[in-house]
Structures are given as structure tokens and as C-alpha cells.
Amino acid sequence: MRYATNFTVIMCHMWWVRNITSKINRILMRMEVAAEKNVKVIEEGSAKIKTAGNVFYNPVQEFNRDLSVLVLQTFSKTFERSNLSILEALSATGLRSIRYAKEIEAVEKIVANDISIKAVQDIKVNIDENGVSDIVQANQSDATMFMYENRRKQFDAIDLDPYGCPSIFLDGAVQAVKDGGLLLVTATDMAVLAGNSPETCYAKYGSVSLKTRSCHEMALRILLQSIESHANRYGRYIQPLLSISADFYVRVFVRVFSGAQKCKYTTSKLSMVYHCTGCDSTNLQPLGILKKNDKKNNHQVKFALPTGPFTASVCLNCKHPLHMGGPIWSAPLHDKEFIRNLLDGASDKLGTFERIWGVLNVIGEELEDSPLYYTLEKLAGTLHCETPPLLAIRSAIMNAGYRVSATHMHKTSIKTDAPSNVVWDIMRCWCKDHPVSEKRQFEGSPAKNILSVEPNIKADFTILPDANPASRKNGYLRFQMNPQTHWGPGTRATAMVGEEKINKSKRNQGKRKREESVESTK
């Protein structure tokens, strides 16, 4: 009887185990089917990868990756860096590293690192399927710790493309890159860098951001200042090769060198910014200046402090108060010779070639020694006047004896070495021919204060051929496109702009003007 009872119990256990096992197998099969359905195959450049789950891929960033491939190719050729070793510190899918391996001739070794175990598993699969296991090595580690561990071994290039602020990675990066090596750094926290939260910007980047129309250039210059600050702590300094503002981020490509003596030049490359809250004019005050020792005639440089302040307590143009921000990088943003080399090496095999070609051509035309810029709509908006043609304003500045250029950061940008009083004198002259309504000039307003002063020059708006830059004449794709699907970093890219929202935006473009036109015909 006892044996029969034990047999019954055993059979019951076996039935229970079989039942549970069957349920688990069914769940696993459903999970496998779901996973297969969720897998996405992505082809970009020479790479073909698979992504699943929460591993993030942003198609809008193809321009970023294409440009990075071109920069690394040109870097290796220009500075004769054969057998490149590259660290992609925040790799996610491994797409960027795989493209580097397949599209850059000089590359010898790439470490595709990510802190996520799942991401690294996917990277390994993608490496094998793309046949680059001899070049690309997947690594699971905290990016900062991995860079600290490689301070002696070092890499020829380190790519940092984080979700948000890159500042926590900069200390390790400036130590883990070889002398003369390349740092590629992206920052996507544009609200912080563009002046929405100056106190947060100071906490993250060591600089106070300002809300100006030239906020995208401010963002680039704040990021460069931050990288330079981290490098200086270890007797190193940077040389920007290319700095771009695109879509929802800024990205810089800088070489890092060692030399404590050269670090002394840093103060002359940084400036505080005085920004007018009324007319948006800016004035820069350098942290340090260089003086040549002409008496000894031996080209020695003396480091000195500037005398100041460089501006009055209120704006001399509109009498409104000033905000102070910075410090920012006030030295050149780009290396013009390197830009020419990029253009020489650019290939139409890159998916975003047309945009790269246009942006690089505009950058090649930018003034190097004139930080920050005006925008046409802000100049006209401040005075409430009819907006002048862009070429007319550019010509007037050139006719007054100053240089002017656009910048790739804004469609109506005006970058010039003309003092702000000359720019406003030109606008005063424009308003004489295109009068502003007295109703718009209320007492104490920037418009009233500016237009109540007679111009010191007579502006000549005769259009000059050179006022129209070659990139504009040739119709290059020079500026960022309107927001599209995946516009934004990380999860924001999927939630920020959907297809329906884009279609709605397109339908509503010009709606107000169309309605006004209909009303006027009634």
C-alpha cells in the first residue's frame, strides 16, 4: 500500500514537472517569436547590423557618422597616422565602430565599448556578421573607468557620443588619447548649452551659458572651453579641427597635445561674454593677452592680464542692461587647411554627402577671428522695421570696409568684424529709407533708444558680387533640415516627432498667410 502511495506521489510530481516545463517552453517560444519580430536590420554605409529591444539606433545621426568617417579618414592621411587605434566609448549597436572598420583604410584596432551587457552581446553578433572581428573588439565596461585604465596604452582617436552631456567622460578621454591624437565629442543637452539653465551649464561645463541668437555657436565654444579645461589639468591642450552645430546637437573634432608651456596660452584663447538683453549685441573680454617682447627681438611672448572692463555698465547701443557669461573658447573653431582636405577627400558614397559638402563649404567661408554672430530677423525685430535683404546688409558692411560671412549654424547669420555700433548705424540708415512706425518706438525700448541716435556713417546698400558667397551661388545644401522622425537624442527621438506630427506641420506651413489672402479677396 505504501509503495502504491509513493508511486502515486512520484507520478503526480512528474506530471507537475512536465506541465511546468511545457508552459516554460511555450513562453520561451513566444518570447523567441516576439524577439524575432522585434529585430530590425539596418544598413548604413558599408555596415549591416541587427538591433532588438532597447538598444538605441537613431537614423538622423547618419550625418554625424558619415562626417566622423570622413574626418578620421582625412586625419589619418593629413597627419600620417597609419595603424589607427580607435575607442568608441559608448557604442550601443556597434554600428559606428563597424563602419570605421570597413570604411577607414588606416584603422588597425577598434574597441567598441558599452556598459550594457545586452548591448555588448548585440555588438559581438554584429561584428561577426560584418566580418570585422579581426579589427573590432567588443568590450563591456564603464567608459570612464576603461579610459582611466588605458591612460598609458592610449588610443589614436576616442569617440564620445553620449546621450546628453559628455562632461563626465572628458577627464578620462583627454588622458587616454595619444599626443596629437583626435577626440570626437558630441553634446546633445542643447537646452543647457543654449542658455535655458545657465547654473546647470556652469555645474556641468564650468561656463555660464547665455540666451542669445548665436546660442549654437556659444554651445560649441562652451564645449571647447570645457575640453581645454580638462586637458590643461594634465599639461595638455587642444587644437580644434572642425566644430559643427547640426540638428539637435553640437560635435567637435579636436587634436590633443602635451606641453605644459603651451597650456599658458589658454587664457588668451578664452573670453567672458557681455550680452545685451535689449538688442542682443555681444562684447568679448579675453581672460589673458599675449605681448611680444620687441626690445629683445627674440620673438618671446609675455603673458599678461587685460585691463578692463571692456564695456560700459549698460549697452552703448540701446541703453539696456548686460548679462555676463562664459568663459567661452574665443580662438578659431576650425582648421581651414583641414577643411580643404576634408572637401578633397569627400566621396558621394556617403549617404549624406550633399549635406556634408554644403556644410563644409560654408564652414570654409566663415570668418575665423569673429566669435558669435547676428541674425537678420533679430536686427530687424529689435527695431520693428521691414526686414532688409540679406545681401543688402552684407554689402553695406563690406562697403563700410569690414568683412562679413555667414555661418553654418543659422540661415540668416551675419558674422562680421564690424563693431556693433557700425552694424546698428547700418540699420539706422536702412530705417531712414524704410521708416518705423512711431507706435513701435515706445519710450525706453531698444528701438527708440537706437533710432533716436543719428548714424555716424552713410550706409551704402549697393549689392556687391562678393556679398553672395560661393556656397549660396552654387545652391549647396548648407543648413540643417526641418525636424523629422527620430529628431532628438535617446528616447526623446521616438517621442519627440512622429510621422503624423510631421505631416500636420507640413499641412500647416503657410496656413496663416493663405487664410489672410482669402480674407483679403472677400
Q: What is the pLDDT of residue 495?
A: 39
Cell of 202: 556652469
Cα–Cα distance measured from residue 202 to residue 207, given in angstroms and rounded to the nearest whole number: 4
* Strand partners for 182: 157, 255
Per-residue pLDDT at 488 exceeds 80: no
Give the dihedral of Cα atoms 137, 142, 146, 147; nearest 10 deg. 110
Q: What is the pLDDT of residue 470?
A: 95
Among 49-63, 207-221, 243-257, 335-349, the range scoring the smallest mean pLDDT is 49-63
Q: What is the pLDDT of residue 58?
A: 72
Q: What is the pLDDT of residue 280?
A: 97
Cα–Cα distance measured from residue 66 to residue 346, given in angstroms and rounded to the nearest whole number: 10
Question: pLDDT tens digit string along 133-178?
Answer: 999 999 999 999 999 999 999 999 999 999 899 999 999 999 999 9
Cβ(252)–Cβ(226) below 8 Å: no
Which ranges of 54-196 does DSSP label H, i.e. alpha helix? 62-78, 95-103, 117-129, 143-149, 167-176, 190-193
Which ranges of 2-61 does DSSP label H, i.e. alpha helix? 2-38
Cα–Cα distance measured from residue 30 to residue 494, given in angstroms and rounded to the nearest whole number: 26
Q: What is the pLDDT of residue 426?
A: 98
Cβ(185)–Cβ(157) below 8 Å: no
C-alpha dihedral sign at 339, 330, 365, 45: positive
Per-residue pLDDT at 248 exceeds 70: yes
Cα–Cα distance measured from residue 87 to residue 112, given in angstroms and rounded to the nearest whole number: 6
The 8-class DSSP code of residue 6 comes to H
The 8-class DSSP code of residue 208 comes to B
H and E: helices and strands count for the chain: 20, 17
How large is the angle between the packed helices 215-232 and 167-176, nearest 10 degrees? Answer: 50
Cβ(282)–Cβ(330) below 8 Å: no
Place 16 in a pLDDT band, splitting at 50, 70 and 90.
Answer: low
pTM (2 d.p.)? 0.86
Cβ(113)–Cβ(140) below 8 Å: yes
CA angle 10, 11, 16 (to 5 degrees): 95
Q: What is the pLDDT of residue 491?
A: 47
How do beta strands 282-286 and 270-276 pair? antiparallel
Among 16-20, 244-248, 414-418, 432-436, the range scoring the smallest mean pLDDT is 16-20
Per-residue pLDDT at 496 exceeds 50: no
Q: What is the pLDDT of residue 348?
A: 92
